[in-house]
Amino acid sequence: MADTTPITAPSPAPPSRLRRAWESDLAWSFRHAPVAMASFFVVTLLILGAVLAPLIAPHDPFDPATLNLMNGFTPPGQANAFTGELFLLGTDDQGRDVFSTILYGMRISLFVGFSAVLLAMVLGVTLGLLAGYVGGWTETIIMRIADVQLTFPAILVAMLIFGIAKGITPPEYRNEMAIWVLILAIGLSDWVQFARVVRGATLVEKNKEYIQAARLIGRTPFSIMLRHILPNVLNPVLVIATISLALAIIAEATLSFLGVGAPPTKPSLGTLIRIGQEFMFSGEWWILLFPAATLLALALSINLLGDWLRDALNPRLR
Amino acid sequence: MKKTAFLAAALLAGTAIGASAETLRWARAGDSLTLDPHAQNEGPTHTLSHQMYEPLIIRDMTGAFQAALATDWAPKADNPDVWVFNLRQGVTFHDGADFTAEDVVFSINRAKSENSNMKELLNSIVEVRAVDDHTVEFVTDGPNPILPSNLTNLFMMDKGWAEANDSVDVQQVEAGEKTFASSNTNGTGPYKLVSREPDVKTVLTLNEDYWGNDAFPLDVTEIVYTPIQNAATRVAALLSGEVDFIQDVPVQDLNRVAQTDGLVVKTAPQNRVIFFGMNMGADDIENDNVEGKNPLADVRVRRAMSMAINRDAIQQVVMRGQSAPAGMIAPPFVNGWTEEMDSASKTDVDAAKALMEEAGYGDGFSIQLDCPNDRYVNDEAICQAAVGMLAQIGVTVNLDAKPKAQHFPLITNGETDFYMLGWGVPTYDSEYIFNFLVHTRGSDRGSWNGTGYSNPELDEMIVSLSSETDLDKRNATIQAIWDVVQEEQLYIPIHHQVLNWGMAEKVGTEVSPEDDPKFKFFTMN
């Protein structure tokens, strides 16, 4: 035995980070889900469009000084009868280029969506961890608040928060504040989902041996929650966050559609749809159709991605 | 003579009795602001009141005077300072009480009281006295030849009912007060209130004991009034037959409605002008970015802002031709209107920029524009267009559009710096405009003057109008007042509205220039 040196195969160079990611289970599952790939492509395209809007968009619809009312209601791809200007997707009632307005509107929709989900996630995960780990009265109070809030539709809670916030902001800041208020309203209406899932997962994790060990060696509760429990409950959080993103974008669109969200001078996708639906019967279909189609594509792709992520991360479904 | 004609009409109409019950489902963008008939001098509010309450004199659907609760009226032969009104006999309120001279005295005094929003129409009246049960004398401060035209929206309430229900004082709408009379009615009118949920639904039913049962068509036996703010929803309701009559067909949908079988659109120029008001009276305004001074106080800024507005573009694109650009805040129906003044507005962005520079605002300033979104045709879209136009001369406008119930108190409370308002002139005379919009805001005039403008000399001229009997002299004063209003650019006129009523074919009516359908005149086939 001693003289026989084991013949080891020449060990391959450690795979690069990228390579490891490519070969991971998640990536494998992604490569075998055409729907997920298509959704990912659409989402990426739309996000790129939104982020690069100032470079791509032919007009800046948020600068009222550049608008010419006479360009109003130009059909897509046709020259305006008065000014002779041409617009790819036509113009709306104020003479704004619909294509540019969609790109800029999407910036608002995505920004509000991402920020609101981030807020909901931070709030929900923190409260969920606290409720699950500390237990007792803390848990009762947090979870009962969550239960009460769940009995109201999220959009109603958001409208309530929006109404209060609008009432207390001084009028001269109202337009600038509108977007932050939207984020606050949607974020606060959406934390419950995160809190419930995280609490449930925490309850399971906290009795496992590694947590008991961590407790025995004197780790503080804060450090245990952050370092040990949190990483192990993140998978479901990621899934909820993705689906919440689609919901938040739709919630923003709904609020703006109802006229309580983004102001008409700085329209988001929902505001554009609200403007467009006024011209539904009169033949100016492009004002409604293009923003609505964009919102549909955005929300649907994010939702499909979320679905795929849920399946991919759920070991029981594999 | 009048009586026999009335009797003949009654006999003729008698044959029509027994017509089947007809419900008219009626929609417009906004609701009445209150049921208290003296609390808000506002079109849609009066329109709903007209179905349940009646004035002494009414305007029919063409705008002509018609006897309502008064049968005839004339200045006293020996004293031109006194108008004598003979009241209709045998009229009862909805609760059965008799309508008498006492009720007229009570109603006029109520409409003249501190909280009333109608007092500008009555400030020439010194005293109202009941001579007997069916004769009333109005004593004016000097002869007032146009008094009757001030009374067409002044509704008569029952004294006993108001006293019994703690409604002698007029409701203070701006303070958010609710009274019995703001949600209940007891008029003499052709329809009685069945139920009301503000901004949702109001149901009226025919008053079986109405004095005019035989004198008017009264084909409509029930009215269901549902305000529908959203233009597309409103027109969809008409197209689908959910409502029979809408007062404001969106301009983009006129063709669509007109081409739909069973629907008609009737169009007429409206006695109403749309304009922007500016708070020029304050030392420093709230919602701007200029500290310590008020840019709107400078007439050059006001003129520049007016010159930046491209009224033709608004007419062509936003209104699709359904408006007439305005140069003054009086509609062409009104005594005092001149074509010269009405075509005074010129668009000239370069000259406007130069004026801004000269006034020291070459870099512009920012300001908030308050705008209603359920009152005038395309009100919010007009404001939005103005935002773009004003941006070209460096004025950054934050637009805040909201329902009229929240918008109007800003003006009457003086809490807005820059606002949209539309003004109809039911008296067809400039004095009405001056009293409400130009006179210094005070206890009996200027209640809708949100500009803070105050010119004692002009005030004196305005007050003199109510007692000037020499019509030439009076018209000269009116012209002189208009010259100042135009010179000072007190308001920024936008356009005169055009009315587009959409209705099912069975609904028969003319379009009244006041935009106030009175359903007793409607026929239903």
From the list A63, A263, A279, the residue facing B252 with the nearest CB is A279
Q: How far is B391 from chain A (nearest CA, A)?
A: 5
Mean pLDDT of A154-160: 82
Looking at A2-11, B424-433, B480-489, which range is the least confident one? Answer: A2-11
**Residue A8 binned pLDDT confidence (cut-offs 50, 70, 90):** low
Domain ranges of chain B: 23-244+506-524, 272-497
Domain B23-244+506-524 and domain B272-497 have a common topology: no
Please choose, from the candidates B338, B362, B343, B353, the residue with its C-alpha nearest in 3D space to the C-alpha of residue B307.
B353
Rounded to whole angstroms, the Cα distance separating B38 from B156 reads: 10
Are the beta carbons of A277 and B385 separated by less than 8 Å? no
A135: left (phi over 0), alpha (psi -120 to 50) or beta: left
Q: What is the pTM of this model?
A: 0.85
Higher pLDDT, A19 or B395: B395
Percent of chain A with pLDDT over 70: 93
Tokens coding B429: 């005379």
Tokens 């938040």 — which residue? Answer: A248
Mean pLDDT over residues B46-55, rounded? 97
CA nearest B417: which of B335, B305, B271?
A: B305
Task: Output phi, psi for B219, to 5 deg.
Answer: -65, -30
What average pLDDT does chain A have? 87
> What is the bridge-based pairing of β-strands B191-197 and B125-132?
unpaired
Mean pLDDT value across residues A254-277:
85
Two structure tokens written together for B286 = 């709230």
For the stretch B125-178, pLDDT in tens is 999 999 999 999 999 988 888 899 999 999 999 999 999 999 999 999 888 899
Does any CB of chain B come closer than 8 Å to the CB of residue A63?
Answer: yes
Q: Do the Cβ atoms of B399 and A264 come within 8 Å?
A: yes
Using a CB-CB cut-off of 8 Å, the residues of chain A touching B239 are 281
Q: Which three-class secondary structure state does DSSP give residue B32?
A: coil
CB proximity A263 to B under 8 Å: yes
Contact A169, B398 (CB under 8 A): no
* Alpha-carbon gap: B387 to the closest alpha carbon of chain A (Å): 7
Q: Could you tell me whether strands B245-246 and B23-27 are parallel, antiparallel, or unpaired per DSSP bridges? A: parallel
How many Å apart are CA B141 and CA B136, to the nearest integer? 17
Answer whether A259 sits within 8 Å of B368, measured CB to CB: no
More confident residue, A266 or B222: B222
On the question of pLDDT at A7 being above 90, the answer is no
The helix/strand count (H/E) of chain B reads as: 16, 19
B-interface mutation test, from A80, A174, A265, most B Cβ less than 10 A away: A265
CB B400 within 8 A of CB B387: no
Residue B426 contacts residue B152 (beta carbons within 8 Å): yes
How far is A255 from A261, CA to CA, in rounded Å? 5
pLDDT for B2 beyond 50 = no
For range B34-50, the mean pLDDT:
96
Residue B395 CA to residue B380 CA, distance in Å, equals 18
Q: Which residues of B touch A (CB under 8 A)?
A: 230-232, 235-236, 239, 250, 252-253, 255-256, 286-289, 310, 313-314, 316-318, 366, 368, 373, 380-381, 384-385, 387-392, 397-401
A113/A190 Cα distance (integer angstroms): 11
Contact A72 B317 (CB under 8 A): yes
- Annotation: CATH topology of B272-497: Dipeptide-binding Protein; domain 3 (3.10.105)
pLDDT for the residue B457: 95
Judged against a pLDDT cut of 50, whether residue B460 lies above it is answered with yes
Q: Looking at this protein, which amino acid is placed at residue B15?
A: T
Q: How far apart are CA A239 and CA B521, in angstroms?
A: 64
Q: What is the pLDDT of residues B292-332, one digit of tens each?
A: 889 999 999 999 999 999 999 999 999 999 999 999 999 99
Is the CB of residue B165 less than 8 Å from the CB of residue B95?
no
Instruction: Provide the pLDDT confidence category of residue B18 given band limits of 50, 70 and 90.
Output: very low
A residues 143-182 lying closer than 8 A (beta carbon) to B: 171-172, 174-175
User: Cα dihedral sign for B145, B150, B155, B157?
Assistant: negative
| Beta carbons of A281 and B235 less than 8 Å apart | yes
Please state the φ and ψ torsions of residue B155, each to the nearest 5 degrees: -85, 145
**CB spacing of A70 vs B400 below 8 angstroms:** no
Distance in Å, alpha carbon of A91 to nearest chain B alpha carbon? 12
Cβ separation of B388 and A94 shorter than 8 Å? yes
CB distance B350 to B341 below 8 Å:
no
How many angstroms separate the CA of residue A295 from the nearest CA in chain B? Answer: 20
How many separate helices (H) and strands (E) can be counted in chain A? 13, 0
CB contact under 8 A, A282 and B398: no
Q: B458 near B481, Cβ under 8 Å?
A: yes
Q: With an 8 Å Cβ cutoff, is A265 touching chain B?
A: yes
B317, B349, B495, best to mutate vs chain A, most A CBs in 10 Å: B317
Q: Are the C-beta atoms of A253 and A295 separated by less than 8 Å?
A: yes
Measured in angstroms, the CA of B231 and the nearest CA of chain A are apart by 6
Cα separation, B497 vs B168, in Å, equals 36
- pLDDT tens for B177-229 read 999 999 999 999 999 999 999 999 999 999 999 999 999 999 999 999 999 98
- Of the candidates A94, A174, A278, the beta carbon closest to that of B231 is on A278
Contact B387 A265 (CB under 8 A): yes
Q: Does A64 touch chain B (CB under 8 A)?
A: yes
Backbone dihedral region for residue B502 (phi beyond 0: left; psi -120 to 50: alpha; all else: beta): beta
pLDDT of residue B16: 44
pLDDT beyond 90 at B463: yes
Mutate to test the interface with B, among A70, A82, A96, A172 (most CBs of B within 10 A): A172
Return the residue of A nearest to B385 by Cα: A94
| A226/A125 Cα distance (integer angstroms) | 11
**Which has the closest alpha carbon to B30: B41, B44, B16, B19?**
B44
Q: What is the ipTM of this complex?
A: 0.77
Which chain B residues contact residue A280 at CB under 8 A?
Answer: 232
In this complex, is the C-beta atom of A284 within 8 Å of any C-beta atom belonging to chain B?
Answer: yes
pLDDT level of residue B380 (50, 70, 90 thresholds): very high
Do residue A94 and residue B381 have CB atoms under 8 angstroms apart?
yes
Of the pLDDT bands very low, low, confident and very high (cuts 50, 70, 90), residue B369 is: very high
Summarised one tens digit per residue, pLDDT across range B268-299 is 999 999 999 999 998 888 777 888 889 999 99
Inspect the interface and report whether the beta carbons of A278 and B250 lie closer than 8 Å. Answer: yes
pLDDT in tens, A72-81: 899 998 888 8
Quote the percentage of chain B above a pLDDT of 70.
96
CATH of B23-244+506-524, one of 3.90.1150.10, 3.40.50.11400, 3.30.720.210, 3.40.190.10: 3.40.190.10
Q: Minimal Cα distance from B312: which residue of A?
A: A70
Closest Cα in chain A, distance from residue B275 (Å):
18
CB–CB contact A64 B235 (8 Å) = no
CB atoms within 10 A of CB B65: 14
In angstroms, the CA B144 to CA B471 distance is: 11
Average pLDDT over residues B94-99: 96
Residue of A nearest to B367 (CA): A172
Strand partners, B508: B523
- Judged by a CB distance cut-off of 8 A, whether residue A282 touches chain B is yes
Which pair of structure tokens corresponds to residue B518?
């009175």
DSSP codes of every residue in B239-293: HTTS-SEESB--GGGHHHHHTSTTEEEEEEEEEEEEEEEE--SSSS-TTBS--SS
**Which chain B residues are within 8 Å of A67, Cβ to Cβ?**
388, 391
Q: Are B241 and B302 in contact (CB under 8 A)?
A: no
* Total residues found in chain A within this entry: 318
Q: State whether B286 and A72 contact (CB < 8 Å).
A: no
Contact A280/B at CB under 8 A: yes
- Chain A positions in Cβ-Cβ contact with residue B398 (cut-off 8 Å): 171-172, 174-175, 265
Residue B11 in contact with residue B159, Cβ under 8 Å?
no
Residue B20: the pLDDT is: 63
The pLDDT, as a whole number, for residue A45 is 96
Nearest to A95 by CA among A119, A57, A61, A123: A61
- Going by pLDDT thresholds of 50, 70 and 90, the confidence category of residue B357 is very high
Q: Which of A80, A181, A183, A191 is nearest to A125 (CA)?
A: A191
Give B77→chain A minimum CA distance, Å: 58
User: Distance (Å, rounded) from C-alpha A312 to C-alpha A35?
Assistant: 13
Q: Do the bridges between strand B125-132 and strand B135-140 make them parallel or antiparallel, or are there none, so unpaired? A: antiparallel
